[in-house]
Amino acid sequence: MTRHVKADICIIGAGSGGLSVAAGAAQLGAKTVLFERAEMGGDCLNVGCVPSKSLIASARAAYGVETANGYGADAELKDVDYRSAMTRVTEVIESIAPHDSQARFEGLGVEVIRSEARFTGPNEVTADDVVVTARAFVIATGSKPAVPPITGLDAVPYFTNETLFANREKPEHLIVLGGGAIGIEMAQTHRRLGSEVTLVEMATILPREDPELVAPLREKLKGEGIEIIEGARVDRVAEVENGIEATITGDNPTTITASHLLVAAGRTPQTANLDLDKAGIAATPKGITVDARLRTTNKRVYAIGDVAGGPQFTHAAGYHAGIIIRNALFRMPAKVDYRALPWVTFSDPELARIGLTEAEAREKHGDTVKALRVPFADIDRARTDGKTDGLIKVVVTGKGEILGASILGDHAGEHIHLWTLAMSQKLGLKAIASMIAPYPTMGEISKRAAGSFYAEKLFSAWPRRIVKFLGRFG
């Protein structure tokens, strides 16, 4: 028998964005239905942010032992137990999973249906023997790894982020295809865990970031023994007796044989099997078409997260969820605004950014733009901790309006919070320059950068003349 369910809001996909909408809607008293065909928690919990950062932590610990002699500790890294590191990844996932579990959401009042949903009309979805009609729908199906058109790739074993963390065998030599955040993070992680690593990127690594900050990170990665080949592509792969042979074209064509291959060449929105056309929902290969309120071409249906074709970050999906709650439940015309959206590449040192790079700022605002730079080597705490790699770079208008900030340094992902707050609340540099920063802390670098904007005026000829004039009065 077919079961019919009427809901206030129906969500397809139990990743970070879908779960946030479901939790908020249910706690506001809305009748909420949530579909999930695979694991609760989606990519972020199971094959994305959580496992990758867990493995990065193991690699950082190993690197800490390897470099401990520089701090006076008599230490030697004899080996890395890759299997144990991956087992820890699983344990971390399992420790977080209850928060995203079906039981928890059912406890909140959400009806969770563990099946694949598809649209059968403009206000109806079906899965197995269930038909759901709702006032509003949210598509939160995320994305999947993009697979580049490489000759022979379909005939060789390779990892993506969806399969890497199930592996228990340490790669002897790992080829990483793609120099974006995932490729950089996993290349450095596996090098620190004892693998030989070759990274191949068609353009330049981290092409969205400020080249001035990417350059020292590139040198750090090379210094750790990672071979980085830029401006090149893997044209062909083949399975050979001792691994996988990759033919690389570019300025210096070469052939590399490695034990394992990781494809980290971007993401593709997951829209297959949704039957979007039956609901009048337009989509392109980049994702579902949405307006500033995240509405699709069917105004009953919203799309959030990776599938909406915008920024592919877990925190962006969470931000989208708040937009949906306001639009779908409170009927408020809330719109997305990405001007204060930060992101982080969790390399070591980390690379964090919000807003415009210097080049983007100059293109938009002209020569009035100023770039404020402070190296971590100028910060006392960075010297005490031996974490002097990197710098902060803040781009501002001539009047001190913050246009963007990029930080390369230890825990840059934490430092970017202050600049995110400043930009989201439209605070100027003065607010940061005038705050009292405890000494000695790494966070002093933000105050130092903001203060440098005023230093040139403060210590110019006019203030000196004023001080000299006032001095005449005793």
Helix residue spans in 259-405 (DSSP H): 314-324, 358-365, 380-385
Per-residue pLDDT, averaged over 36-40, amounts to 97
Give the whole-angstrom CA distance, residue 189 versus residue 347: 8
Per-residue pLDDT tens for 220-245?
A: 999 999 999 999 999 999 999 989 99
The total of other beta-carbon atoms located within 10 Å of residue 400's CB is: 15
Residue 154: C-alpha distances to residues 148, 174, 244, 258, 269 (Å): 10, 18, 12, 17, 20
From 226, 183, 229, 227, select the one nearest 206 (Cα to Cα): 183
Per-residue pLDDT tens for 276-295?
A: 999 999 999 999 999 999 99
Question: Which residues fall within 8 angstroms of residue 473, CB to CB, at 6 or more apart?
Answer: none
Per-residue pLDDT, averaged over 333-340, amounts to 96
Please name every residue paired with 173 in a beta bridge, in sequence order, or none if there are none.
Answer: 196
Domains of the chain: 3-40+101-145+268-336 (3.50.50.60), 153-265 (3.50.50.60), 340-458 (3.30.390.30)
Query: DSSP letters of 431-473?
Result: HHHTSPPPSS-TTHHHHHHHHHHHHHHHTSHHHHHHHHHHHTT
State how beta strands 342-345 and 143-145 pair: unpaired
Per-residue pLDDT tens for 41-84?
A: 999 999 999 999 999 999 999 999 999 999 999 999 999 999 99
CA angle 405, 406, 411 (to 5 degrees): 115
Q: Which helix (H) or strand (E) holds 132?
A: strand 130-139
Which pTM value belongs to this model? 0.95
